[in-house]
Amino acid sequence: MDEQFLAENLARLEVALDRLGRSMTSAAVAHMSVVPGPLLSGSQRGVLRALVNRGPCQVSEVAAHLSVTLSAATGLVDRLVKAKLVTRDRDQKDRRVVWVKVTPDGVAALEAAEERRRVALSKIMSNLSNQDLSTLCDILERIDSP
């Protein structure tokens, strides 16, 4: 691939992805009145999604799942505990072990956040044809595959 072509198109892609991210955030916020619930960061959604899908985890498992440092995962969990979206519970057999568990409010907050994102993404992608959307999905899946 031509280096000039690659550089120009990577710059275009970076701008487009930044714009898409801002549009997603704006559209999700705009739909908060339609789908009420707390505004969650992507990392907070990731923690809640991991806990819903995997069940209770230790903070170290959360960090590994999100590919973040232990201190970053601890900060995320602290904020979610403060918001009453997760709890920390000591293991009954080994009191040194602390489990992070999603609360019913956490499940509801995640569902609301994901619904707002689906609505926002649907609105943003509405100008694409079915074929364009299918092609975009195919390309993104190829990029993210091992």
> What fold characterizes domain 3-144?
Arc Repressor Mutant, subunit A (1.10.10)
pTM, two decimals, is 0.79
DSSP for 56-106, please give it.
Answer: SB-HHHHHHHHT--HHHHHHHHHHHHHTTSEEEEE-SS-TT-EEEEE-HHH
pLDDT in tens, 97-127: 999 999 999 999 999 999 888 888 888 899 9
Q: Is 8 exposed, middle or buried (0-12, 13-18, 19+ CB in 10 A)?
A: exposed
pLDDT in tens, 127-142: 999 999 999 999 989 9
Domain spans of the chain, in order of start: 3-144
